[in-house]
């Protein structure tokens, strides 16, 4: 009988510990808006390419801004490499102040389009992160994959799906913990507004591992993509 009581108490303590850990997890509804773009100096590869993306993200306890300019080279029609700087201030509602993060980043982008309306993209990004909250440098690897499908080229509507995994390569004194600590998954429709502009809106699920507390963010995401290149030269007169 004592063994049964001991086993029962042990099982109860394990269940209580799991329930307590899960009680620390939290869900959050957020709204994210972004403008992402590239501008090429030439329509043909190789060519220099300017990169930018600007984000505004609102959660239940803070507002995050992100400004990420860069420059790169379009090596081939399917391969581009870029590098640049990112400024990421996080404004806390409770504190009334902002903590600023600065990043140096490098990336390689692979892309391919098929005749039946499917476009694929892979982006591998390496970041060196600096935060005012500590002195350590956080190294992080990000792997992004995207699939866009536009069933009919004459109808400017399609579906976008993408996933991005974040792997922290180091642990820092300001909060970065080594290992896979974040995943983002998006699904939603897009509207091709012009040959150089696409509007995308949908549901983004964000998983954040913060040690004892995990965050599950349910995000309404709206993204405007812009891709500019010089106009094609006029055809020669016959």
Mean of pLDDT over the chain: 89
Spatial neighbors of 62 by CB under 8 A, at least 6 apart, are 90, 91, 92, 93
| Cα gap 31→63, rounded to integer Å | 10
The 10s digit of each residue's pLDDT in 58-117 is 998 899 999 999 999 999 999 999 999 999 999 999 888 899 999 999 999 999 999 999
Q: Please give the pLDDT value at position 4.
A: 39
Fold annotation for 27-228: Porin (2.40.160)
| Cα gap 128→86, rounded to integer Å | 10
The 10s digit of each residue's pLDDT in 186-223 is 999 999 999 999 999 999 999 998 777 889 999 999 99
**Straight-line distance from the first to the last Cα atom of the chain, in angstroms, rounded to the nearest whole number:** 101
| Cα gap 151→156, rounded to integer Å | 9
Q: Please give the pLDDT value at position 238.
A: 61
CA 175 to chain centre: 19
Question: What residue spans define the domains of the chain?
Answer: 27-228
Is the per-residue pLDDT at 16 higher than 50?
Answer: no
């Amino acid at each position: 009988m004592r063994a049964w009581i001991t086993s029962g108490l042990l099982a109860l303590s394990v269940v209580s510990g799991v329930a307590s850990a899960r009680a620390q997890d939290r869900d959050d509804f957020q709204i994210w808006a972004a403008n992402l773009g590239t501008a090429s100096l030439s329509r043909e590869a190789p060519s220099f390419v300017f990169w930018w993306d600007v984000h505004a993200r609102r959660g239940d306890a803070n507002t995050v801004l992100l400004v990420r300019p860069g420059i790169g080279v379009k090596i081939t029609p399917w391969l581009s490499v870029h590098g640049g700087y990112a400024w990421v201030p996080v404004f806390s509602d409770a504190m009334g102040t902002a903590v600023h993060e600065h990043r140096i980043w490098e990336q390689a982008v692979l892309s391919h389009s098929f005749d039946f309306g499917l476009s694929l993209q892979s982006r591998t990004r390496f970041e060196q992160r600096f935060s005012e909250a500590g002195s350590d440098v956080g190294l992080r690897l990000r792997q992004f994959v995207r699939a866009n499908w536009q069933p009919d080229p004459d109808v400017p509507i399609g579906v976008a799906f993408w996933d991005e995994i974040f792997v922290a390569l180091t642990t820092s004194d300001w909060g970065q913990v080594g290992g896979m600590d974040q995943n983002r998954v998006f699904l939603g429709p897009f509207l091709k507004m012009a040959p150089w502009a696409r509007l995308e809106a949908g549901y983004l699920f964000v998983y954040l591992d913060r040690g004892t507390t995990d965050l599950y963010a349910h995000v309404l995401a709206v993204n405007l993509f812009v891709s500019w290149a010089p106009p094609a030269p006029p055809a020669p007169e016959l």
